Amino acid sequence: MKPLLLIFKKLYLVIALLICCSAIANAQTIKGNVSDSKTSDPLIGATVHIENAGVSFNAVVKLDGVYLFKNIPAGTYLLQVRYVGYKTSQQYTVEVPAGKTAILNVAMLDNQTALNEVAIIEHISRESDNTARADEKKMPTIP
């Protein structure tokens, strides 16, 4: 009985190792940095979107300026980056071969808009106690 149990344990171990190896071999990754094109500062919180044949994934740029897509199917992806205050990046084509890592760094342009005129308007608050007291003082007295 013990030799049979030992054979099953070895067989189980071999199958587990094969599954792990096949999972590692099929692990494709896309990663890169997203930064400001002028200052090279990382754009923390930028959204990176990839799409391939109707399947899409999103990632957020972390504190170190890096985005990462793990365990995605091999293929060709369209990658685009969005960030508030910056122009949406062009669509990049990223090819991810089986078992490899594709690296794409993106430098984004800020979305500068020039203002012609700024108007500052002030309104008097009529909701405070002081304005109510001032209104009472201005009221004519009733005989």
pTM for this structure? 0.61
Domain borders along the chain are 27-108
In tens digits, the chain (143 residues) has pLDDT values of 567 767 767 666 667 555 544 444 457 999 999 999 999 999 999 999 999 988 899 999 999 999 999 999 999 999 999 999 899 889 999 999 999 999 999 999 988 776 677 788 887 666 777 777 887 888 887 76
Whose CA is closest to 77, among 106, 102, 99, 112?
102
Give domain 27-108's CATH architecture.
Sandwich (2.60)
Whose CA is closest to 32, among 57, 64, 54, 55?
64
Q: Are 25 and 98 in contact (CB under 8 A)?
A: yes
